[in-house]
Structure 1
Amino acid sequence: MSGAGIISTDGTKTKTKRFKVKHPKRKLYRSSEPLLSVFMWGINHTVKELEHVSIPVMLMPDDFRAFSKVKVDNQAFNKENLPSHFKVKDYCPLVFRNLRERFGIDDQDYLRSMTKDSPKPMDSPGRSGAKFYASHDKLFVIKTLTSEEVEQMHSLLKQYHPFIVERHGKTLLPQYLGMYRITVDNNECYMVVMRNIFSSHLNIHKKYDLKGSTIDREASQKEREKDNPTFKDNDFINDGVKIHIGDEAKQKLMETLAADVEFLAKLHIMDYSLLLGVHDCEEAEREAAERGTVDLDGVDEEVGDEEYDSGGSGVALTPPDSPQAPSRSQSVNGASRIDPEKDIYAIPSRSTSQSREIYFLALVDVLTHYGVKKQAAKVAKTVKYGAGVDGISTAEPDQYSSRFLEFISKAIE
């Protein structure tokens, strides 16, 4: 602030004051990739736009075709992070807002997770060429889609939403939370946001992608060289892995899985997988001991020594219309604890199991329709391996679903 003199018409001098204009702080959306900076900006814009839209009593057919678009040209704000020209398209905004609500996700929490810091790249678990990113708090996963997959998502949504409503959110299907098209430098990128299957705070010590088939179902050498590879059906069998959760938890899990798989079969969808992550509690204790946070005699300095063995906290085992498992964190002996609000796919091993583990499991890759391409692939594989071979991954939806459920059921004890 500084003083300045102004001479008036009558010759007197008056003092005026100059003030520095204070601009409100604005989010930076800083990322090493312009695409992610625009994605963060777009999430913020679209969620805040929805704040002014009244929640409809029920969704209408037009809501499944709706979209919102924003085009930004010659913008000068935050030029070091955001490009000058970009476009954001938000698909079916009311449908996805309703789905977030059904999955118990508050829009403000969603906004904080997606925009507080840049999403981080993840290893791609498959051969699709899709890119994966995790939100900074690891609660959500962002996956890039092809334009064909966007069409499949539109087609799926019309049946997926009523199914989620009917099941009261109790499903192992992917939890789809938003779908966007981001355009930077005339390059279009389609992205879908999903709930992360794995825990945001517990290490996953081993991962398996299970289809229930045995032909060409081993992790490649390239995959095995990764820090945390994703193994496949034959690796699972050869490792002698079992999911030790007990009869009651198995029955509830298989009921949920059977409902999901029946839904997919009706839509002629196949080639999906059960993604399984195993957290080894004893390994976690050793890791924690190296950090100096856990006493290996069983006393956890951070969470106490309470044992949790209720059969799981998540969507697979929670009956519809019942409250979720206790909202407080639960320890499964020592270093490992389940957060029921975040670890929704977690199922601890039964108390009588020799190995103390926590399993994270859900369905993935549910956008493959059994159409002309897959029918041709089945013919080609049948010629290669013989008509009598049952382990071919490409199979008709009903055959695929029954084989899949049988394999998973045998894997659970």
Structure 2
Amino acid sequence: MSQEINIHGDVYFGDVKGNIPHGMGKYTWADGTVYEGNWEDGKMTGRGQISWSSGTSYEGDFSGGYLHGFGTLTNPDGSVYKGSWRLNIQNGLGRKQYSNSDVYDGCWKDGMHEGSGKYAWSNGNMYIGNWKAGKMCGRGVMKWLNGDLFDGSWLNGYRNGSGVYRFADGSYYFGTWTKGLKDGQGTLYTAGRKYASFRKFDKKKSLITDGSSGRSERFRDVERNVGRSVSEKITFSGFFRDSGRISSRRLPPEDEYSVGDSTREFSASENTDMLSYISDEGEGELDYDSSVAWEREYMQGVLMRERVKNNPGTKNKQHNKSLASEVKKKSCVDIFEGHKSYYLMLNLQLGIRYTVGKITPVPMREVRSSDFGERARIRMYFPRKGSQFTPPHYSVDFYWKDYCPMVFRNLREMFKLDAAEYMMSICGDDGLRELSSPGKSGSIFYLSHDDRFVIKTLRRSELKVLLKMLPSYYDHVKKYDNTLITKFFGLHEITLRGGKKVRFIVMGNMFKTELRIHRRYDLKGSSYGRITNKDKIDEGTTLKDLDLAYEFHMDKSLREALFEQIHLDCKFLESQLVIDYSLLLGLHFRAPEHLKALLEPPDAKHKSAAPVDDGLASGELSIPPKGLLLVTHEPSSVSTAPGPHIRGNTLRAFSVGDKEVDLLLPGTGRLRVQLGVNMPAQANRKVSQDTSGSAEVELFEVYDVVLYLGIIDILQDYSMRKKIEHACKSVRYDPKTISVADPKFYSERFIKFLEKVFPVDS
């Protein structure tokens, strides 16, 4: 029942609880401030509207008397902020239109721009990129009304580091800046000359390599006379008096940002526009038509020296042909000539941005039979000049095909992958890294810049196997959270003119771990050819079955959980007639002074070893061998954020009363134990010691290790070609020792081998 209450000159009319406001009501302060909305125990909580005597008004969410949630603040000067609040401060996604008609769309933190966002000035200039403490900082693109554009690094509102400046007339300058001034070496390309080259940022040197740019004669004359670029006349201080921040996980859209509803979700599809704008404006192939390029050197904006750079076009043509032929011999990708890898990365990023952005807004639903198969796909043409549906880009024209998009969208959701994070990881500014050692098949491997995802090119036969097994794979990983089988996140195909195709699979990287991996093994259970040349072994080498000189002893319950899942996964692979898979095993050693043993042959006599650095993947620590401890799981003490290698629930250990456990590493930290992740064990290594000159005594060296493991390479079926290969090799070698075998026999041999590697403690 509504009541009127006078409180020290203030007036409240509305619902009460005892003698305090509770429910709906209107409160008028003596100074003229008025609040009307929800109350809870005497505090403004819920939806409401408040107007101050100064003329400022707010409508939106309140909590405990604070502006907290989503709402709109209107100031007397005409500026309006719509977005998220935290304890009376702008915090989260929001849009602010200033009194001078400037507009900022992006993320805020503590009332300032920080993270990623878009600022559009009333004069037509625009910046899209990263912010810190209200200033442009990090990677970003600035576009001026006159058509000039800068794409590169920023610091405290100034161009600082590597970048490319594109002038409205088509000229480009690639180089480095310090506090807004050209500083160091760079390359100037006048508008016109036609060639294909690419901009790449070299993090170590902070230079742009393998790049090119251009600039008109009139700008070169100005620089000679004035000693600095015309672009340096534009300053940035004073632009952001009242600025804010955006999280890089949730980027605002470029054109559309409706915030009228406080419950609005900002989807990854909206973020795609901005990501495309940032990446496409300054990267890739550039077309000019001239014969002059200039190499220049600046010191704090002053041009110190310049010289004409030779036209590389003619000289490189023959080189590109020979390089293309070499690629054709070594790799399945023979379609990109001298720049195969870079074109491939650009096309892949463009396609993933498009398809993930397109499928994310579609309402979640369970998959249907029509979502599987080769005909369930999104197909799109990406011309260089852009189209109604695709942005312009600097790669080659290509067709993009995304297989089973709804299935992989659901798989990513199942694996708790945020769509925006997925796109930023693969399609972000830092791009992809090509792994130096491709497999025997000639496949090319890429690693995302944050190491979370591995992208591999596939043969046509592997594509067919995956599409055929995908319905069963989907059911299997949905049913078994702890599956050790590789996680797949996307299946794509690029087609160029002439019909040449490259297919990709995106997978989780199981070696994206909290702890450093000291040794890695690829174990199949076969012996023929399964050994590595000892002269070529280093820490990054993936060793094979006959190189493994350890047995791993684990907690009883951990081992039982491991082999229960291995049996289930192998039964699934056997049902799909898949062979040639392997267990990828990573070892983290907790006794750094023993690591020298890893660089010696298994039969070497191990007497002493020099200390070797050990520690977390993010940094090097010197860890004494204090052992490993299993303790009762405490969610508040460990990170529970899912990652591409995280597999299911926290495991239970027999040694602590069958309770969920964490791994305590003395002097380092506490980690959550899951199947295939952070699993503790003791590694026993057999050594023989000569005691009398003729007699040998068998001894064991014991190391504390942390294991990371998963089943990989599951796209080879027992085809007719493999049956013939098995028959031919069986004539010369013992059929039980060769890798190629009947799926049932392969599965049984694989499990028996692993049971020896992980023996039952007596």
TM bucket (normalised to shorter chain) is: 0.7 to 0.9
Q: Which has the higher helix share?
A: 1
Within the candidate set 661, 673, 679, 1:348 is matched to 679
Distance 2:584 2:354 in 1: 33
Picking from 321, 334, 358, the partner of 2:667 is: 334
How far apart, CA to CA, are the structure 2 residues paired with 1:120 and 1:330?
A: 32
2:197 is the alignment partner of 1:93: no
C-alpha distance in 1, partners of 2:556/2:545? Answer: 23
Residue-by-residue CA offset, 1:311-346 (whole Å, 9 max, x unaligned): 9995277579xxxx78xx965233476477xx8732
Residues 291-310 of structure 1: matches in 2 within 5 Å? Answer: 294=621, 296=623, 307-308=629-630
Give the TM-score normalised by the residue count of structure 1: 0.79
CA contact (8 A) 1:243 1:349 kept: no
Relative to structure 1, is the Cα distance of residues 229 and 310 closer, same or farther in structure 2, using a 3 angstrom cutoff? Answer: farther
Residue 84 (structure 1) shift? 4.8
1:373 aligns with 2:721: yes
Q: Which amino acid aligns with 1:349?
A: P
CA distance in 2, matches of 1:219, 1:125: 16
Asked if 1:68 is matched to 2:68, the reply is no
**Count of aligned positions:** 374
Following superposition, the deviation at residue 183 of structure 1 comes to 3.5
- Give the whole-Å Cα distance in 1 for the aligned partners of 2:454 and 2:729: 33
Distance 1:127 1:339, change over 3 A: farther
Superposed displacement of residue 381, structure 1: 1.5
Contact preservation (8 Å) 2:532, 2:544: yes
Report matched runs for 1:145-164 at 5 Å: 145-164=458-477
AA aligned to 1:197 is M
- Which one has more relative contact order, counting CA pairs under 8 Å at least 6 apart? 1
Distance 1:331 1:197 in 2: 21
With over 3 angstroms needed to count, the CA separation of the structure-2 counterparts of 1:115 and 1:410, relative to structure 1, is same
2:181 corresponds in structure 1 to: none
Structure 1 residue aligned with 2:738: 392
Aligned equivalents of 1:292 and 1:47: distance in 2? 33
What does the per-residue CA deviation read over 1:84-132, in whole Å, with 9 as the maximum and x for residues that have no partner?
A: 5232211100000111111222222212211222111224474221111
Partner of 1:36: 345
Q: Unaligned 5+ residue runs, structure 2?
A: 1-121, 129-140, 142-276, 285-340, 596-610, 641-645, 653-659, 685-701
What stretches of structure 1 of length at least 5 have no aligned partner? 1-17, 300-304
Contact 1:198–1:345 (CA under 8 A) maintained in structure 2: no
Residues 246 and 88 of structure 1: CA distance in aligned 2, closer, same or farther (over 3 Å):
same
Residues 30-57 of structure 1: per-residue CA shift (max 9 Å, x gap): 587121122112211111111221212x
* SS of the residue 2:358 aligns to: helix
Residue 591 of structure 2 contacts residue 623 of structure 2 at CA under 8 Å; is this kept in 1?
no
TM-score, normalising length: structure 2 = 0.45
Cα distance in 1 for partners of 2:474, 2:718 equals 21
Counterpart secondary structure, 1:89: strand
Which residue in 2 is equivalent to 1:109? 421
- The residue that corresponds to 1:210 in the other structure is 523
Equivalent residue, structure 1, for 2:577? 268
Change (3 A) 1:148 1:306: closer
CA distance in 1, matches of 2:345, 2:619: 37
The percent of aligned pairs where both chains have the same amino acid is 28
Output the CA distance in 1 between the equivalents of 2:529 and 2:426: 37
Give the match for residue 197 of structure 1.
Answer: 510
Letter aligned with residue 348 of structure 1: M
The CA distance in 2 between the partners of 1:403 and 1:172, in whole Å, is: 18
> Given residue 69 of structure 1, which amino acid in structure 2 is its aligned partner?
R
Secondary structure of the residue aligned to 1:405 is: helix
Q: What residue in structure 1 maps to residue 167 of structure 2?
A: none
Comparing 331-340 with 241-250, which one deviates more in the overlay?
331-340
The alpha-carbon distance between structure 1 residues 207 and 296, as it changes in their structure 2 partners (threshold 3 A), is closer
CA distance in 2, matches of 1:63, 1:135: 27
Give the strand-richer structure, 1 or 2.
2
Distance 1:309 1:179 in 2: 40
Please tell me the root mean square deviation across aligned C-alpha atoms, in Å: 3.6
Q: Could you say which structure has the larger radius of gyration?
A: 2
